[in-house]
Amino acid sequence: MTEKKEEIRTGFYICHCGHNIGSVVDCPAVVEYVKGLPGIAVSRDYKYMCSDPGQELIAQDIREQKLNRIVVASCSPLLHEETFRKATSMGGLNPFYFQMVNIREHDSWVHTDKNAATEKAMDMARAAVARVRFHRALEKKKAPIHPDVLIVGAGIAGIHAALTLANAGKKVYLVEREPTIGGHMAMFDKTFPTLDCAACILTPKMSSVKNHPNITMWTYSEVTSVDGYVGNFTIKVRHKPRYIIEDLCVGCMACIDACVFKQKFEDEFNQGLSKRKPVYIPFPQATPQVVVIDPEQCLKLKTGKCKESCAEACDRKAIDFNQKETIEEIKVGTVIISTGFKSFDAKKLPQYGWGIYPNVYTALEIERLVNASGPTGGDVVMRDGKHPKRIGIIHCVGSRDESTNKWCSRVCCMYSLKLAHLLHEHSEAEIYNFYIDMRTPGKSYEEFYDRLLKEGVNFVRGRVAEITDWAMNKDEEDHLVIRVEDTLAGFVRRIPVDMVVLATGLEAREDAQDVRRLFNIGCGGEGFFMERHPKLAPVDTFTEGIFIAGACQGPKDIPDTVAQAGAAAAQCLALIDAGAIELEPNTAFIDEQSCSGCKSCISLCPYTAITFDAVKKKAVINEALCKGCGTCVGACPSSSIIQNLYEDDQIFTEIEEVLAHV
Amino acid sequence: MKFSYFPGCSLKGMGGAYETSLIAVMEALSVQLEELDDWNCCGATAYMSVDESKAFTLAARNLAIAEKKTDDLLAPCAACFLVLQKTQKYIKDYPEVGRVVRESLRAGGYDYAGSTRIRHPLDVIVNDIGLDTIKKTVKHPLKGLKIAPYYGCQVVRPYATFDHQDYPVTMDNLLKALGADVVHYPLKTKCCGGSLTGTLPEVGARLSNILIREAKRQGADLITTLCPLCFFNLDSYQDKMEGPEKITMPITYFTQLMGLAFGMPSSKLGLKRHIIPILPILKERQVAIA
């Protein structure tokens, strides 16, 4: 495949990356070594190859030194392959005559022995210099971008992104697994630090989503399959049966009143602090205002035997016990994943007594308890029916803890302050906060902390050891005792209280790994979805056209979530308005001369990109569908499938040279 | 199921009731126990604080003998269980400790690769044999008997190998499977006084008495434990109790209660080896004694 007669003139550039590479790899030594390799016309080192002068260096050398191959030894191709391909183009050379060597992640960052690291850099450079001789000029193909957007998860992140895109005139499918949109924010009472009511700022947005002509809102639905690539995704969505015809139901709730059951099932929205019937509406402002029947609880759906008084009560005949799940297929060009978080399960720390002592609550339970539309109408009455006189709020439950989650959940200090204020306001109880460090970075956050200090809330620094009902003396009897080392006072304290609030941390959702696989994106070690770059591409993923926003990427509060949602929407708009995207030319093609038409490749292709030309009796690869996975290349018995950028002589030369040293 | 059995000094001495009841119960559950040949003192916590490398070597000799036999090593005494585990971990995690210990063992003709698994009978009974089998073996459920489950510190701390460090529930579940009522016992992993009862008796006795008072307050008929030292401290110092009213609280090993529920004769369970007699409360609650 190579033009053998062409004289190879390779330019080699090694980047110091400041001290990142330069302090471990002896870059000038590598430059000298490479000068002795065949085909080298230029060999240089530079402090920052990715900078403007660095790129210009390559372009200028191509022009002046008549270079026809470029090798850069620097960081990961994920970060700067595109940068150096562009620099290669700037010099007038086809960008695929370029090869990158990762001597940062693969070498300087993981080794301490300078001599060995330098030798390794030389080995890797030699392999790349040898490989690049066999490179060919390739052309990038363009694929159109479908203008519709899928948003998965309709909490505040999904809602904000959907409205941004819809207001820009784009069609949005907003898919939510729960019967209502709103997510966690809909459960909150007030929001820090301004103490504006969560419902007052969220529910208008929820209703805008429902009424927006550009938004298709699907609740009680889940994405089941994702096919295609950036600009051309085919998505299947499963609509779970609500047993209610959505178009007919007006949310009058007559069916709920009529249901033969007492309110006996745990109300998920109120965190189990109240009960509901099998037919229910999650909360008064639920969007859509449509009831749902739980098939695990409904007598008719479980046993087939019920007098169906709900159906009788519905004068719009909206109840349909025969509803089945349906699958709908849509086409979109871009996707935003905003699936949110899960609250840490307080049962994992039994020393704090949640589930053991009735008057121990999680923060989310308190959000409902102080809420005017919550189970008690905002009256802070405990599970034992009493009103607390003294309340302890324990920070970092399932955060900053080696035995559970190592990370800081970022929102708990602030929401603990907020709950301290609200609990005091609703109950006049004396409030204690137990913290390790107060973390209040954010606009007007520290000021809010200051306000709480002035309001007379007590702050004790120390991680709480345990909550116990063991009374050491009379004062402690019939109380919960918080045992803590007060690290400012320097002694162990036992503080009797009536109510304990656990400031539970934020975790990735249980099925984050399934979602990750479904959309072919990554998760970090702690389970949250991984951004393409922590600073410079915070809402991108490693899959083009799929973006993330909100707490599914990591713990964050509402302002940060909304900012990310806006950013993700803007990234979609940028792709949509560009109209088309360039595709990586790493696809496979068939060498028709040698293809025997055995068809073994066809069934192996995970993307159904290969078909059979019955006339020519040869396999044919659809370049638009091929993802360059290489499965068919490896399987072809006559070696008739070739993959761009991964041709046999390129790979074999690279392997030979990298091992030549051994 | 077969184990090498490491009795340690306690089970051969003051913890005799633990040994006889353990052997009887394991036999009933078809678990073979073969006493480790030529075992020696585990070193307990005392030797550790005097000379670590000698203490590790002392404990490791037992692990080396057990390794040759290839069966897992059953250590019922909480202190032995902890010391053997700590030795195992240090040999593995600290190469220098491992080197010194192996060298010392070799001088005595022993070799230790590090593969011996150390198990506590509570873990084996609940997690290997399983509560379903236990329930099937129960002949006389301990109905109406209110029990405070007391774990002490060493079985769960610092190495929580089979249960939570602060709030273990394995024994709670076992006692429920025996038909007993398990009372809420917030002090289940708090200090029994340990060896302080020997060195500072007024402190040690006060700590163990706190446990007894709380068990009484929670309505327990008796306290059950899995550690010979806990048993000794709780059982022996009740006459030192301060305060207006004198209370007494029988102390048992969990294996004794299993034996009772399995319908074994009291002679096999060491029920007479208690300072605070246990038979009166069993009679009062009408627990069948074979």
**A340-368 pLDDT, tens digit each:** 999 999 999 999 999 999 999 999 999 99
Q: How many other C-beta atoms are found inside a 10 Å radius of the C-beta of residue A398? A: 25
Contact A469 B186 (CB under 8 A): yes
Q: Which two tokens stand for residue A529?
A: 């979805």
CA distance B185 to chain A (A): 9
The hierarchical CATH code for the domain B2-119 is: 1.20.1050.140
* A105-134 pLDDT, tens digit each: 999 999 999 999 999 999 999 999 999 999
Name the residue in chain A with its Cα closest to that of B214: A470
Q: Which two tokens stand for residue B93?
A: 């995690």
A351 interfacial to chain B (CB closer than 8 Å): yes
Contact A470 B187 (CB under 8 A): yes
* A124-160 pLDDT, tens digit each: 999 999 999 999 999 988 889 999 999 999 999 999 9
Q: Identify which of A194, A230, A208 has the alpha carbon closest to the alpha carbon of residue A160.
A: A208
Region A427-439 average pLDDT: 97
**Residues in contact with A525: Cβ distance below 8 Å, sequence separation at least 6, in sequence order:** none
The fold of the B131-284 domain, in CATH, is: Rossmann fold (3.40.50)
CA distance B283 to A601: 79
Name the residue in chain B with its Cα closest to that of A469: B186
What is the structure's pLDDT at A241? 97
Note which residues in 254-293 of chain A have CB less than 8 A from chain B. none
* A165-202 pLDDT, tens digit each: 999 999 999 999 999 999 999 999 999 999 999 999 99
Q: Which two tokens stand for residue A150?
A: 């899928």
* B174-211 pLDDT, tens digit each: 999 999 999 999 999 999 999 999 899 999 999 999 99
Place of tokens 């970022």: A410
Residues of A in contact with B156 (CB under 8 A): none
What's the mean pLDDT when you consider all of chain A? Answer: 95
- Asked if B222 and B249 count as a contact pair (C-beta separation under 8 A), the reply is yes
Region A628-643 average pLDDT: 93
Q: Which two tokens stand for residue B227?
A: 């550690």
What is the structure's pLDDT at A608? 82
Residue type, A13: Y
B219 interfacial to chain A (CB closer than 8 Å): no
Region A235-256 average pLDDT: 96
Enumerate the domain spans of chain B: 2-119, 131-284
What is the structure's pLDDT at A4? 55
SS3 category, A444: coil
Q: Which two tokens stand for residue A564?
A: 């990310």
What is the structure's pLDDT at A169? 98
Q: Indicate the helix (H) or strand (E) that contains A236.
A: strand A232-239
SS3 category, A529: strand
Q: How many other C-beta atoms are found inside a 10 Å radius of the C-beta of residue A242? A: 23
Q: What's the CA dihedral at B100, B106, B108, B112 to 10 degrees? A: 90
Label the pairing between strands A618-621 and B2-5. unpaired
What is the structure's pLDDT at A584? 84
- pLDDT of A583 strictly over 70: yes
State the DSSP string of chain B.
Answer: -EEEE--HHHHHTTTHHHHHHHHHHHHHTT-EEEEPTT-----HHHHHHH-HHHHHHHHHHHHHHHHHH-SEEE--SHHHHHHHHHHHHHHHH-HHHHHHHHHHHHHTT----S---EE-HHHIIIIII-HHHHHHH-SS--TT-EEEE---STTTSS--SSS-SSS--HHHHHHHHTTPEEPP-TTTTS---TTHHHHSHHHHHHHHHHHHHHHHHTT-SEEEES-HHHHHHHHH-GGG--SSS-----EEEHHHHHHHHTT--GGGTTTT--SS-SHHHHHHTT----
What is the structure's pLDDT at A449? 98
Q: Identify which of A565, A519, A558 has the alpha carbon closest to the alpha carbon of residue A538.
A: A565
CA distance A654 to A660: 10
The closest CB to that of B166, out of A350, A469, A470, belongs to A350
What is the structure's pLDDT at B45? 78
CA distance B9 to chain A (A): 33
* A43-91 pLDDT, tens digit each: 999 999 999 999 999 999 999 999 999 999 999 998 899 999 999 999 9
pLDDT band at B101 (very low <50, low <70, confident <90, very high): very high
Contact B214 A356 (CB under 8 A): no
B131-284 shares the fold of B2-119: no
- pLDDT of A266 strictly over 80: yes
**Residues in contact with A509: Cβ distance below 8 Å, sequence separation at least 6, in sequence order:** A339, A340, A341, A342, A515, A552
What is the structure's pLDDT at A1? 47
User: What predicted TM-score, i.e. pTM, was given to this entire model?
Assistant: 0.85
CA distance A610 to A625: 9
The closest CB to that of B166, out of A466, A469, A470, belongs to A466
- pLDDT of A624 strictly over 80: no
What's the mean pLDDT when you consider all of chain B? Answer: 94
State the DSSP string of A267-334.
Answer: -TTTTTSSEE-SEE-SSTT-SS---EE-TTT-HHHHHS----HHHHH-TT--B-TT---EEEEEEESE
All domains in chain A, ordered by first residue? 10-139 (3.40.50), 149-240+327-340+508-578 (3.50.50.60), 343-507 (3.50.50.60), 588-643 (3.30.70.20)
- Asked if A16 and A48 count as a contact pair (C-beta separation under 8 A), the reply is yes
Peptide bond into A179 cis (omega under 30): no
Region A529-535 average pLDDT: 93
Higher pLDDT, B49 or A471: A471
What is the structure's pLDDT at A662? 63
pLDDT band at A316 (very low <50, low <70, confident <90, very high): very high
